[in-house]
Amino acid sequence: MKNLLPIFIAGFFCFFSITQAEAQLTTPAASPNAKVTYDVGLSEVHIDYNRPSAKGRVIFGDLVAYNEPWRTGANASTKITFSDDIEILGNTLEAGTYSLFTVPGQRQWEVIFHSNLSHNTPGGRDVEEDALVINVNPNHHENFFMETFTITVNNLRNNGADILLVWENTSISIPFTLDTDSKVSANIDRVLSGPSGRDYFVAANYYLQEGKDLEQALKWMNKSIDMDGERFWVLRTKGLIEMELGKHNDAIKSLNRSSELAREMGNEGYPRMNNATIEEIKASR
């Protein structure tokens, strides 16, 4: 019985620990997280932030002090991501993710896009890591009240939009523009000029994988090489198509050339694969 006592005690504490873990309560967050993505033109703006509520409190000038840096949300710094370069009030901000800090004021807000994402509060940040700092004027609304802090993207246009911060009866708008026209023009030129060499390669490789019209696949592969030049991974695929078509001499030639180009690039994996395929071709004759 004495030997069983340690086992009983260990089992009791294990059961107690599991019961305690299962008994932990989950309650709503005081400042829930929000992750939102907005399409602007052909670009994306992603915002990740926590949303405190007023709950009867005076916000600006009290809970959020005037003329002092604010993390612009709760719990952690707000993160904003731009998929493309944008322009804000004549200043270029490169594509990427930034912490969004602000310094609220009665007549003017300072808005800071900070590049060091490890700073959850603006107080200890290195200003040299500020990617962009701008000033905007706030709007005070007499007949409007926003209970929960909200960041949204509004006034959508093909080449821009406004980042809107709203809480209590105060809002600020940060207008930005982006070069949608260049992306659209590039897409138009690409589509109207016909398929690219990569398009021909992808189509040929798909036909090879699916066992479809391999004669057509070989034509597409040759078109890809004509347009983009010889590349070792393309030549291997060409060799595989030629092998499946029974064009063994052509296949060996393509595979050997693939190995030659791969070695020039410091790649030894493709030569090993190509040699194995060549041995397979020779064994099938």
- CATH code for the domain of 245: 1.25.40.10
Residue 9 has pLDDT above 80, yes or no: no
The count of structural domains within the chain is 2
In a domain, 65, yes or no: yes
In a domain, 238, yes or no: yes
Q: Do 129 and 41 fall within a single domain?
A: yes
Token readout for 62 is 């009290």
Residue 128 CA to residue 130 CA, distance in Å, equals 6
Q: Do 142 and 87 fall within a single domain?
A: yes
pLDDT band of 106, cuts 50, 70, 90? very high
The dihedral built from the CA positions of residue 22, 28, 31 and 35, taken in this order, carries a sign that is positive
Of 10-19, 34-43, 64-73, 191-200, minimum mean pLDDT range: 10-19
In a domain, 199, yes or no: yes
In a domain, 275, yes or no: yes
> What is the DSSP secondary-structure string of 222-285?
HHHHHHH---HHHHHHHHHHHHHTT-HHHHHHHHHHHHHHHHHTT--HHHHHHHHHHHHHHHH-
Q: Do 38 and 83 fall within a single domain?
A: yes
Q: What is the pLDDT of residue 10?
A: 55
Q: What is the pLDDT of residue 93?
A: 97
Contact 64, 104 (CB under 8 A): yes
Q: Do 162 and 38 fall within a single domain?
A: yes
Whole-number Cα distances in Å, 220 to 11, 43, 205, 208, 216: 68, 32, 9, 11, 6
Contact 100, 119 (CB under 8 A): no
In a domain, 13, yes or no: no
Q: What is the pLDDT of residue 1?
A: 46
Q: Please, what is the average pLDDT of the chain? A: 91
In a domain, 9, yes or no: no
Domain limits at 139? Answer: 33-178
pLDDT band of 123, cuts 50, 70, 90? confident
Q: What is the pLDDT of residue 80?
A: 97
H/E element holding 109?
strand 109-114
Q: Do 150 and 235 fall within a single domain?
A: no
Q: Do 90 and 53 fall within a single domain?
A: yes
Q: Do 148 and 207 fall within a single domain?
A: no
Taking the complete model, does pTM exceed 0.85, yes or no? no
Residue 69 has pLDDT above 90, yes or no: yes
Secondary structure letter of residue 53 according to DSSP: B
Token readout for 4 is 């069983």
| Domain boundary pick from 148, 178, 208 | 178
In a domain, 10, yes or no: no
Token readout for 250 is 């052509």
Q: What is the pLDDT of residue 25?
A: 78
Q: Do 49 and 156 fall within a single domain?
A: yes
> What integer is the mean pLDDT of 110-116?
96
Residue at token pair 């992808």: 202
Residue 16 has pLDDT above 90, yes or no: no
